[in-house]
Amino acid sequence: MTAYITGVGYSEYTRRPDADLTTSSILAQAGAEAIAEAGLTPGDIDGFGVASFTLRPDHAIDQAWRMGLSVKWLMDDANGGASAGSMLQHAVHAIDAGTARNILLVAGDLMAGDAFRSLVAEYNSATAHHLTPLPMSGPNALFAMLTQRQMEECGLRSEDYGRIAIAQREWAGLNPRAVYQEPLTMEQYLTAPVVADPLRRFDCVPPVSGGEAIVVSANPDGRAAVRVLSTRSSFNYDDQEGSGTATGVAEIATECWAEADIEPRDVGIVSVYDDYPAMVVAQLIDLGFVEKNHSVSDFISDRIASRSLPVNTSGGQLSAGQAGAAGGMHGLAETATQLLGRAGARQVEARYGVVTGYGMVLYRYGACATTTILEAVR
Strand partners, 48: 74, 104
Among residues 61, 78, 136, 174, the one that binds other proteins under rule CB under 8 A: 136
Phi (first) and psi of residue 274, to 5 degrees: -120, 65
Q: Which stretch binds other proteins (CB under 8 A): 21-29, 204-212, 234-242, 301-309?
A: 234-242
| Position 129 contacts other proteins (CB under 8 A) | yes
Q: Do β-strands 73-76 and 47-51 pair in parallel, antiparallel, or remain unpaired?
A: parallel
Nearer to other proteins, 39 or 198 (CB): 198
Taking the mean position of all CA atoms in its chain, how far away is CA 178?
A: 14
User: What is the identity of the amino acid at 27?
Assistant: L
Contact indicator for 277, 318 with CB cutoff of 8 Å: yes
Please list, in sequence order, all residues whose beta carbon lies within 8 angstroms of the beta carbon of residue 24, skipping any fewer than 6 positions away: 55, 58, 62, 63, 66
- Minimum gap (Å) between residue 193 Cβ and other proteins: 6
> Is position 367 an interface residue for other proteins (rule: CB under 8 A)?
no
Q: Is 194 in the site for other proteins (CB under 8 A)?
A: yes
148 is a contact residue toward other proteins (CB under 8 A) = yes
Report if residue 155 touches other proteins, rule: CB under 8 A: no
114 binds other proteins (CB under 8 A): no
- Rounded to whole angstroms, the Cα distance separating 286 from 262 reads 16
Single out the residue of 195, 296, 348, 377 in contact with other proteins (rule: CB under 8 A): 195
> Between residues 145 and 260, which has the closer beta carbon with respect to other proteins?
145
* CA-derived radius of gyration, the chain: 19
Q: How far is the CB of 200 from other proteins (least distance, A)?
A: 10
Q: Is 158 in the site for other proteins (CB under 8 A)?
A: no
Stretch that binds other proteins, among 1-9, 20-28, 90-98, 126-134 (CB under 8 A): 126-134
Pick the binder of other proteins from 100, 144, 205, 311 (CB under 8 A): 144
Non-local (6+) Cβ contacts of 192 within 8 A are 200, 201, 202
Query: Is 364 a residue that touches other proteins (CB under 8 A)?
Result: yes
Contact in structure between 356 and 331 (CB atoms under 8 Å): yes
What does the DSSP assignment read for 242-261? S-SSS-THHHHHHHHHHHHT
Examine residue 121 and tell whether it contacts other proteins (CB under 8 A): no
User: What is the rounded distance in angstroms from the CA atom of residue 26 to the CA atom of residue 50?
Assistant: 12
Q: Does 187 bind other proteins (CB under 8 A)?
A: no
Which residues sit at the interface with other proteins, rule CB under 8 A?
A: 125-126, 129-136, 140-142, 144-145, 148-149, 193-199, 239-241, 363-364
